[in-house]
């Protein structure tokens, strides 16, 4: 089933340089980073299409096929936005076969694995990515979400991946909610009068927290609210598409397809 308004993904460079790329080294950054957020959000993802090519020029490239791998990642992102989660994983896995260096950065694959209930693989993907980027708040949270489904909230919280300080206030508070526990309603209330992106992210992560706690009606209320918000209708933020995919996978999607 196709999702409305997200058939053609738009990938933008970040307006600001994320902490991850303040110093670009081919030894640490081997593939392009596709922006999860819109150019108006404070993204930590910078689209760098030439990094793999630079590295290949230095090393001779080996047996990898970075251009084909990048194309596979793009296809995977498009399929995810269309609601074809299984097809997206097929493309992300193809990218890894074409260029094994991609795996350390494929946060998109981890998100898809979560929606296929492949939680162990999803947690592994997020842990690998955080090892490369120790300042990634969202991947820390998504690792928790996978491990909570595997082992329960208490165990997942004990092995929570600690990361550096996020520049976005809403994500700092979301991180603290998942790491330490708390009231998801407070997260939403604190940002209900803020920027459109803040309300969207507060609602999305409040809903995800409720889902981890097994409170499906609360989760539905907040994630559908995120989808229905003005920011949730944007086609240029991967996480806005994710909220729609979440509704589709939970059969909450009648108003969003």
Q: Give the pLDDT confidence score for residue 169 in this predicted structure.
A: 97
Distance CA 257, CA 253 (A): 6
Report how far Cα 117 is from the mean position of its chain's Cα atoms.
16
Distance CA 227, CA 232 (A): 5
- Torsion angle (degrees, nearest 10) of CA 222, 83, 16, 224: -10
Distance CA 35, CA 10 (A): 9
Q: Give the pLDDT confidence score for residue 36 in this predicted structure.
A: 61
Q: Which residues of 140-161 are buried (b: 16+ CB within 10 A; e: fewer)?
A: bbbbbbbbbbeeebeebbeebb
Q: Give the pLDDT confidence score for residue 64 in this predicted structure.
A: 73
The tens place of each residue's pLDDT in the chain, 257 residues long, gives 445 433 333 333 333 323 333 232 333 334 434 556 554 444 434 333 334 444 454 444 556 799 999 999 999 999 999 999 999 999 999 999 999 999 999 999 999 999 999 999 999 999 999 999 999 999 999 999 999 999 999 999 999 999 999 999 999 999 999 999 999 999 999 999 999 999 999 999 999 999 999 999 999 999 999 999 999 999 999 999 999 999 999 999 644 54
Q: Give the pLDDT confidence score for residue 61 in this predicted structure.
A: 52
Q: Give the pLDDT confidence score for residue 5 in this predicted structure.
A: 36
């Amino acid at each position: 089933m196709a999702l409305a308004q997200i058939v053609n993904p738009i990938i933008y460079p970040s307006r600001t340089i994320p902490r991850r790329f303040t110093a670009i080294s081919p030894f640490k950054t081997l593939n392009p980073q596709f922006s999860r957020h819109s150019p108006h959000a404070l993204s930590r993802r910078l689209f760098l299409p030439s990094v793999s090519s630079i590295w290949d020029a230095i090393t001779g490239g080996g047996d990898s096929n970075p251009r084909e791998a990048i194309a596979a990642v793009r296809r995977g992102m498009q399929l995810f936005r269309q609601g074809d989660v299984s097809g997206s994983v097929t493309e992300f896995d193809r990218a890894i076969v074409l260029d094994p260096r991609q795996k350390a950065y494929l946060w998109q694959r981890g998100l898809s694995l979560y929606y296929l209930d492949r939680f162990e693989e999803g947690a592994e993907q997020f842990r690998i990515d955080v090892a490369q980027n120790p300042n990634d708040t969202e991947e820390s949270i998504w690792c928790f979400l996978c491990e909570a489904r595997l082992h329960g909230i208490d165990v997942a919280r004990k092995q929570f991946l600690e990361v550096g300080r996020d520049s976005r206030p809403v994500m700092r508070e979301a991180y603290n909610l998942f790491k330490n526990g708390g009231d998801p309603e407070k997260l939403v209330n604190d940002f209900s009068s803020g920027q459109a992106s803040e309300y969207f992210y507060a609602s999305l992560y409040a809903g995800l927290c409720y889902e981890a706690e097994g409170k499906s009606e609360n989760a539905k209320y907040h994630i559908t609210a995120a989808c229905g918000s003005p920011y949730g209708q944007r086609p240029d933020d991967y996480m806005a598409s994710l909220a729609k995919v979440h509704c589709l996978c939970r059969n909450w999607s009648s108003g969003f397809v």
